[in-house]
């Protein structure tokens, strides 16, 4: 990489390029000198790379803005091109709904204004254009309020710019910026308050949630505090002030006009369902970037001004966004932000808020695992203790944590410990053994240990808990497969059945084909022993042959899947097949899940059979104390969802191919017709058409392109037919899933006529609970405004143990999973909502069940 590129990339960092200096003024002068020398013969490369740096290292935007301001003194035309390119990129981002592009380019424009490159009035026009679009969107008569998510996003982008340029705007165009702020206040008065129902980290009955400030209202309050403090922000560097005397001599450029895209039209039939669908689409396209998880006491971050917290969160989220493929660079930039105060606690809170973000984190959870691991190594004296504090605080509130967040926390924590030799002070949590088996803290420890065994081996994990040896009770069973026909003394199976199993095993070892084994079963086994014993012997034996490794399992399924398919041709028999898998791998939840998943992949069992098996009596009783059946159900629904997603992508790709093929066929046909109509001289005589060789080639091309077009159309029709069938199957799957949920909950929930709430379930026997915690709760969560919030302590350590009875805990856990499934697959559920409303979410369904579903789908309360 050339030296000027290195200087641009590393500006603001302590690096060899800048002789380890940390002075921003020195960095800017050094980089400016190098760029000025190269500008004459590398202007295009510099322009492209400079814009790329500004967009992908947004925490350095003030430095790049000042640098461009100095370049403006040398070459106005070059900087004019920067402004024009930025205008084009900004318009493209608006048109495509690129949220990160819009937000970062607006910050970049603000920095250019601070450096006298852009006229302040041009920036105000941008603000007013976005604000006008937002106001029209939420207008009941002129707009489409279901798209408020986009309107809110535009206003958040305007407010987000003010920490970077509010002081300059207030100084240079005070009346204009005041007009913008008054417009924002007016917008806030007509928009609908956004509830976090269904997306909050903690279950809190979600009543009265509208009283709390949402993200936009909270940011508006922070900006008002900033304005009253004279726009002073410690966390935003202002390097342009060091060059102010020079920058004022530069020419301020105008920013070209921009336009916001029109919001989608209201549906022809305005109904709660149609509104809900559009609202869901809008929130998918313009998601809220973060929700605050205040893990630590306010004392840990009390030195931060409200706006500084917001700015540092922006820095951290930007680094996570642009370095998601470079974990070590990500960690390095996260620990080197341009702020004059420590922020380890805020950094941990921000990362955990992203890991647990609902409905899904921006990146795969493994990314956050690696970043946390690298930060622990980069800050060995500080960050590991902060992470441990976060885990303890979350553990104290685990009973209130959303079920999806709880699952993610278990997966993250077990993986994290596996990277640090499984070291953890388990003695602190040994008291969970005194809690009932359904207590969430006890279940959490049990599930973490089970996941650790998957990542290592049983004896290693037993050794890791030697400081709390009693916790061995929560380890998964050490034994291997549970083969019914092994011949062991404790197996109550007849010699005849064992002989059948041995005979089948010999046939497999002898490489007999699936067809030969099917004939043997049909002629010799089934007539004598019947369906149940035949299925049990065959499935158990084949599972035993494939038990040595994952590869063995796949080999058995590929070679003898036809045998299983023949035996289990209907749903009832498929449920028996799944039960045999569960019985064989009863000591190994991981292999149970893998085997069932692979069988579904080979279409030996259907998703409907899996749903019925999950809701069988023996599994229902485990819903609140084990993740085993939930993992199988998650895998089944995810696989169905992924099939539909893949088909959508394939259809989209095929449609593009069809268009290309039609264009090619049209061009080939036109070329052929032109050639046929052309007069040429042959032996001095005029003849219609070009020479025969060329005509033959053009005819061949025309026929070939036509055939390709027909072939593409056929492929597209076939895929669309598959997609239509998949959507029908999906509808049947969700109907079955929710009917089962509704039935089992109706049997166990309190009388629907009572004003039942989640809080009332938790408070059963709760009046006499005595809390024994050394210090006040450090997990007071209020998504936006950091106000202390009263919460139940039913997840904590108490003198009387866990205070929720088993039946109520079963209901709480199952309702939590209902909400989690509804939220995770909302995009696939909404298309079928009318059918689900008619058949499942009826007035007869329990109110708490419907409330959990609607919360997951983010349906408004007036749609209940």
Give the angle subtended at the CA of 81 by the CAs of 78 and 83, to the nearest 5°.
115
pLDDT of residue 675: 77
Q: How far apart are CA 605 and CA 618, in angstroms?
A: 20
Q: pLDDT tens-digit profile of 79-105?
A: 999 999 999 999 999 999 999 999 999
* Residue 790 confidence (pLDDT) above 70: no
Rounded to whole angstroms, how far apart are CA atoms 140 and 18? 56
Model confidence band, residue 765 (pLDDT cutoffs 50, 70, 90): low
Identify the band that residue 752 occupies on the pLDDT scale cut at 50, 70 and 90: low
- Residue 764: predicted pLDDT: 56
Concatenating the DSSP letter of every residue in 593-606 gives HHHHHHHHHTTSS-
850 and 837 Cβ atoms separated by less than 8 Å: no
Rounded to an integer, the average pLDDT of 396-415 is 96
Question: Does 3.20.20.190 match the CATH number of domain 493-586+588-621?
Answer: no
Give percent of the chain with pLDDT exceeding 90.
71
Distance CA 250, CA 75 (A): 10
Looking at residue 490, its pLDDT comes to 46
CB within 8 A of 301, min separation 6: which ones?
A: 309, 343, 345, 346
Q: How confident is the model at residue 685 (pLDDT cuts 50, 70, 90)?
A: low
- 768 falls in which pLDDT band (50, 70, 90)? very low
* Residue at token pair 């005819």: 699
Q: Report residue 725 CA to chain centroid gap.
A: 27
For residue 824, pLDDT beyond 60 = yes
Q: Does position 2 have pLDDT exceeding 70, yes or no? A: no
Give the pLDDT band of residue 793 (cuts 50, 70, 90): very low
Q: Do domains 3-285 and 320-466 have the same CATH topology?
A: yes
Structure tokens at 202: 């903690």
The DSSP result for 694-738, as a single string, is HHHHHHHHHHHHHHHHHHHHHHHHHHHHHHHHHHHHHHHHHHHHH
Q: How many helices (H) and strands (E) does the chain have?
A: 34, 2
Residue 359 preceded by cis peptide, ω within 30: yes
Residue 504 has pLDDT above 60, yes or no: yes
Angle at 455 between CA 454 and CA 459, to 5 degrees: 75
Give me the mean pLDDT over the 413-442 stretch: 96
Q: What three-state secondary structure class fits 401?
A: strand
pLDDT at 124 over 50: yes
Residue 775 confidence (pLDDT) above 80: no
Segment 470-493 mean pLDDT: 81
Q: Kindly give, in sequence order, each residue whose CB lies less than 8 Å from that of residue 767, ignoring residues fewer than 6 positions away.
A: none
Q: pLDDT tens digits, residue range 172-193?
A: 999 999 999 999 999 999 999 9
Whole-angstrom distance, CA of residue 296 vs CA of residue 393? 8
Is the pLDDT reported for residue 779 higher than 60? no
Asked whether the predicted pLDDT for residue 801 surpasses 80, the reply is no
Whether the Cβ atoms of residue 221 and residue 213 lie closer than 8 Å to each other: yes
Poorest-confidence range of 301-305, 371-375, 784-788?
Answer: 784-788
For the domain covering 320-466, report its CATH number. 1.25.40.180
765 vs 334, residue with greater confidence: 334
Contacts of 220 (CB under 8 A, 6+ apart): 159, 184, 185, 188
Contacts of 165 (CB under 8 A, 6+ apart): 110, 111, 113, 114, 123
pLDDT one-digit tens code per residue, 572-625: 999 999 999 999 999 999 999 999 999 999 999 999 999 999 999 999 999 999
pTM: 0.88
Quote the percentage of the chain above a pLDDT of 70.
90
Residue identified by tokens 């630590």 is 296
DSSP 635-700: HHHHHHHHHHHHHHHHHHHHHHHHHHHHHHHHHHHHHHHHHHT-EEEETTEEEESS-HHHHHHHHH
pLDDT at 767 over 50: no
Q: What is the pLDDT of residue 364?
A: 94
Of the candidates 115, 24, 15, 272, the one whose C-alpha atom is nearest the C-alpha of residue 861 is 272
**Any idea which residue has 């009572």 for tokens?**
754
C-alpha distances in Å from residue 424, one per residue of 109, 382, 430, 477, 666: 48, 17, 12, 21, 69
Whether the per-residue pLDDT at 215 is higher than 70: the answer is: yes
Banded pLDDT at 142 (limits 50, 70, 90): confident
Among 45-59, 549-563, 691-705, the minimum mean pLDDT is found in 691-705
> Which pLDDT tens digit goes with each residue over 704-728?
988 999 999 999 999 999 999 999 9
Q: What span, in angstroms and rounded, lies between the C-alpha atoms of 8 and 3?
A: 9
Report the half-sphere exposure of 430 (CA within 13 A, side-chain side). 12
User: DSSP 3-state assignment of 102?
Assistant: helix
Mean pLDDT across the chain: 88
User: What value does the mean pLDDT take over residues 275-297?
Assistant: 91
Please give the pLDDT value at position 836: 95
Distance separating alpha carbons of residues 680 and 693, to the nearest angstrom: 13
* pLDDT given for residue 210 in this prediction: 46
Alpha-carbon gap, residue 455 to 457, rounded angstroms: 7
| Confidence bin at 204 (pLDDT 50/70/90) | low
Largest Cα span, the chain: 113
Mean pLDDT, residues 555-572 taken together: 93
Average pLDDT of the residues in 122-128 = 96
β-pair partners for 685 = 682
In CATH terms, is domain 3-285 a member of 2.40.110.10?
Answer: no
Residue 475's pLDDT band, with cuts at 50, 70 and 90, is very high
Q: Where are the domains of the chain?
A: 3-285, 320-466, 493-586+588-621
Q: What is the mean pLDDT of residues 620-645?
A: 95
Helical residues (DSSP H) of 379-439, grouped into ranges:
383-396, 403-418
């Amino acid at each position: 990489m050339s030296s000027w590129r290195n200087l641009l990339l590393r500006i603001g960092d302590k690096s060899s390029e800048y002789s380890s200096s940390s002075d921003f003024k020195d960095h800017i002068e050094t980089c400016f000198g190098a760029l000025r020398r190269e500008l004459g013969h590398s202007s295009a490369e510099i322009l492209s790379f400079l814009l790329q740096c500004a967009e992908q290292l947004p925490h350095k935007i003030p430095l790049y803005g000042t640098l461009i301001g100095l370049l403006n003194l040398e070459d106005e035309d070059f900087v004019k091109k920067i402004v024009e390119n930025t205008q084009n990129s900004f318009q493209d981002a608006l048109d495509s709904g690129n949220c990160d592009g819009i937000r970062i380019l607006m910050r970049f424009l603000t920095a250019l204004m601070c450096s006298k490159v852009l006229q302040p009035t041009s920036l105000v026009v941008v603000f007013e254009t976005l604000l006008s679009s937002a106001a029209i969107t939420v207008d009941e008569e002129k707009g489409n309020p279901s798209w408020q998510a986009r309107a809110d996003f535009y206003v958040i982008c305007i407010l987000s710019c003010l920490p970077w340029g509010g002081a300059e705007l207030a100084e240079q165009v005070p009346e204009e910026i005041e007009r913008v702020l008054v417009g924002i206040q007016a917008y806030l008065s007509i928009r609908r308050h956004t509830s976090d129902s269904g997306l909050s980290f903690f279950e809190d009955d979600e009543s009265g949630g509208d009283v709390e400030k949402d993200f936009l209202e909270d940011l508006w309050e922070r900006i008002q505090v900033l304005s009253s403090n004279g726009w002073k922000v410690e966390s935003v560097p202002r390097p342009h002030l060091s060059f102010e005397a020079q920058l004022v001599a530069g020419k301020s450029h105008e920013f070209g006009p921009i336009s916001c895209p029109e919001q989608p039209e209201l549906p022809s039939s305005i109904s709660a369902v149609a509104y809900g669908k559009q609202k869901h689409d809008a929130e998918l396209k313009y998601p809220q970037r973060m929700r605050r998880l205040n893990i630590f006491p306010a004392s840990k971050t009390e030195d931060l001004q409200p706006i500084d917290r917001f700015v540092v969160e922006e820095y951290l989220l930007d680094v996570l966004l642009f370095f998601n493929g470079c974990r070590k660079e990500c960690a390095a930039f996260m620990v080197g932000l341009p702020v004059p105060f420590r922020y380890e606690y805020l950094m941990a809170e921000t990362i955990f808020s992203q890991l647990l973000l609902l409905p899904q984190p921006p990146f795969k959870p493994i990314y956050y695992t690696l970043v946390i691991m690298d930060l622990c190594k980069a800050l060995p004296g500080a960050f590991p203790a902060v992470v441990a504090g976060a885990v303890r605080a979350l553990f104290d509130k685990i009973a209130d944590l959303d079920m999806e967040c709880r699952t993610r926390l278990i997966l993250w924590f077990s993986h994290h410990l596996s990277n640090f030799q499984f070291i953890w002070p388990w003695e602190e949590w040994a008291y969970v053994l005194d809690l009932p088996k359904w207590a969430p803290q006890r279940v959490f420890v049990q599930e973490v240990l089970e996941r650790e065994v998957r990542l290592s081996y049983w004896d290693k994990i037993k050794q890791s808990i030697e400081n709390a040896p009693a916790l061995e009770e929560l380890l998964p069973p050490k034994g291997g497969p549970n083969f019914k026909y092994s011949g062991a003394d404790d197996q109550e199976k007849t010699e005849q059945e064992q002989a059948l199993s041995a005979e089948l095993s010999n046939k497999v070892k002898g490489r007999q084909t699936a067809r030969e084994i099917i004939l043997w079963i049909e002629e010799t086994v089934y007539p004598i022993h019947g369906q149940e014993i035949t299925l049990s012997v065959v499935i158990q034996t084949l599972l035993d042959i494939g038990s040595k490794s994952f590869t063995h399992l796949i080999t058995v399924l590929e070679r003898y899947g036809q045998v299983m398919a023949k035996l289990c041709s209907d749903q009832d028999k498929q449920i028996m097949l799944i039960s045999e898998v569960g019985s064989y791998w009863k000591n190994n939840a991981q292999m149970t899940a893998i085997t069932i998943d692979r069988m579904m992949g080979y279409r030996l069992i259907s998703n409907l059979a899996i749903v019925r098996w999950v809701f069988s009596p023996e599994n229902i009783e485990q819903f609140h104390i084990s993740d085993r059946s939930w993992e199988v159900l998650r895998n089944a629904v995810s696989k169905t969802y992924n099939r539909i997603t893949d088909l959508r992508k394939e259809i989209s790709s095929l449609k593009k191919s069809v268009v290309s093929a039609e264009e090619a066929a049209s061009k080939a046909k036109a070329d052929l017709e032109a050639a046929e109509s052309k007069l040429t001289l042959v032996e001095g005589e005029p003849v219609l058409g070009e020479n025969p060789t060329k005509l033959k080639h053009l005819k061949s091309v025309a026929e070939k392109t036509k055939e390709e077009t027909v072939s593409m159309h056929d492929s597209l029709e076939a895929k669309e037919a598959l997609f239509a069938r998949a959507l029908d199957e999906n509808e049947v799957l969700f109907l079955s899933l929710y009917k089962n949920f509704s039935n089992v909950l109706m049997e166990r929930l309190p009388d629907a006529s009572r004003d039942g709430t989640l809080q009332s379930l938790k408070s059963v026997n709760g009046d006499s609970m005595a809390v024994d915690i050394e210090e006040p709760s450090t997990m007071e969560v209020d998504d936006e405004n950091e106000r202390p919030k009263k919460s139940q302590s039913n997840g904590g350590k108490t003198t009387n143990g866990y205070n929720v009875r088993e039946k109520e805990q079963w209901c709480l856990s199952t309702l939590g999973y209902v909400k989690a499934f509804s939220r995770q697959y909302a995009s696939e559920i909404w298309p079928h909502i009318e059918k689900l409303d008619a058949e499942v979410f009826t007035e007869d369904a329990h109110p708490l069940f419907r409330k959990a579903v609607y919360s997951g789908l983010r349906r408004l309360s007036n749609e209940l």
